[in-house]
Amino acid sequence: MEETGFKTTVQAILQLGYAAFDKTHRLPEHLRDAAWSLMHCRTAVLGGHVQSCPEGHFQRVWYNSCRHRFCPQCAQVQVEEWLRKQKARLLDCDHYHVIFTLPEELRLLWRSNTRLMTELLFKTVRDTLFELLEDEKHLGAKPGMMASLQTWSKTLVLHPHVHCLVTGGGLSRSADWVRLKKDYLLAFRVVRDLFRGKMCAALLQALEQERIVLPEAMRVQGLRNLLNQLGRKKWNVKICEKYSHGNGVLIYLGRYLRGGPISNRRIVEVTGETVTFSCGRDKAETMRLSISEFMGRLLQHVALPHAVVVRSYGIYARTSKAELAKCRQILGQGPIEKVEKLVWQSSFEGSQDHPEVCPVCGKRLVRTHTVTPLKPPASFRERRPQEVYGGKAA
Give the residue, 161 or 253, on which the prediction is more confident: 161
Check residue 388 and give its pLDDT.
Answer: 36
CB contact at 8 A, 297 and 279: no
Residue 100 has pLDDT above 60, yes or no: yes
Residue 17 has pLDDT above 70, yes or no: yes
Mean pLDDT, to the nearest integer, of 335-351?
73
**CB burial of residue 173 (10 Å; 0-12, 13-18, 19+):** exposed
CATH topology of domain 75-260+306-330: Replication Protein E1; Chain: A, (3.40.1310)
**Quick check: helix, strand or coil at residue 60?**
strand
Distances (CA, A) of 200 to 10, 177, 192, 218, 239: 37, 34, 12, 17, 21
Check residue 101 and give its pLDDT.
Answer: 98
DSSP 55-111: TSS-EEEEEPP---TT-TTTHHHHHHHHHHHHHHH--SS-EEEEEEE--GGGHHHHH
Distances (CA, A) of 220 to 112, 116, 166, 197: 14, 17, 36, 19
Nearest to 250 by CA among 144, 134, 102, 122: 144
Tell me the per-residue pLDDT of 49-77, one tens digit each, with 9 for 90 and over: 999 999 999 999 999 999 899 999 888 88
How far apart CA 242 and CA 93 sit, in angstroms, is 10
pLDDT confidence band for 341 (50 / 70 / 90): confident
CB contact at 8 A, 128 and 178: no
How far apart CA 70 and CA 301 sit, in angstroms, is 9
Tell me the per-residue pLDDT of 180-220, one tens digit each, with 9 for 90 and over: 988 899 999 999 999 999 999 999 999 999 999 999 889 99
How far apart CA 189 and CA 132 sit, in angstroms, is 12
Please calculate the CA angle 211-217-219 and round it to the nearest 5 degrees: 50
pLDDT confidence band for 4 (50 / 70 / 90): low
Check residue 339 and give its pLDDT.
Answer: 82
Tell me the per-residue pLDDT of 112-167, one tens digit each, with 9 for 90 and over: 999 999 999 999 999 999 999 999 999 999 999 999 999 999 999 999 999 999 99
Domain ranges of the chain: 10-68+342-381, 75-260+306-330
